Structure 1
Amino acid sequence: MVSARGGRYGFVYRTRQDVYRALRRQGMTKSKAARISNAGRTFPQRSAMARKAAKTRQMRGRKRR
């Protein structure tokens, strides 16, 4: 189980632990995976991040696959 203990044991919200595990499987470090999975805890926050990412990709000229 991912730590929900905090402090030196790290912390990932319980509702986001599946995301954390998926990022870890992709080879991310614990701290980076925790930072990404904890960001956007609510659905509107995640939607805002997705819009920002799409805008960034568009500005850099990447095509959507």
Structure 2
Amino acid sequence: MVSDRGGRWGFVCKSRQRVYAALRRKGMSKSRAARISNEGRTRAARSAMSRKASRTRQVRGRNRH
């Protein structure tokens, strides 16, 4: 489990550590995985992230499969 101590040990919310671990398994860097997992602490924040991702995909012209 990743530390939730903060400071030089880094910080990831307790409730989001499973997300952090999944991102790390996909090969993402520690800092980037922590930033993404901490960003979606609340349901509202996760919804905003999904809306932004949807817009990004539309702009780049990706099709749904």
Same fold (TM over 0.5): yes
Return 13-22 or 50-59, whichever deviates more. 50-59
State the distance in 2 between where 1:55 and 1:62 align: 10
Deviation of 1:4 after TM superposition, in Å, equals: 0.3
Return 26-35 or 15-24, whichever deviates more. 26-35
State the distance in 1 between where 2:32 and 2:55 align: 22
State the distance in 2 between where 1:14 and 1:46 align: 16
**Cross-structure match for 1:43:** 43
State the distance in 2 between where 1:52 and 1:64 align: 16
Return 3-12 or 50-59, whichever deviates more. 50-59
Identity, % of aligned positions: 69
- Listed as ranges, the matches of 1:20-39 within 5 Å are 20-39=20-39
Q: How many residues align?
A: 65
Q: What are the ranges of 5 or more consecutive residues in structure 2 without an aligned counterpart?
A: none
Deviation of 1:64 after TM superposition, in Å, equals: 1.3
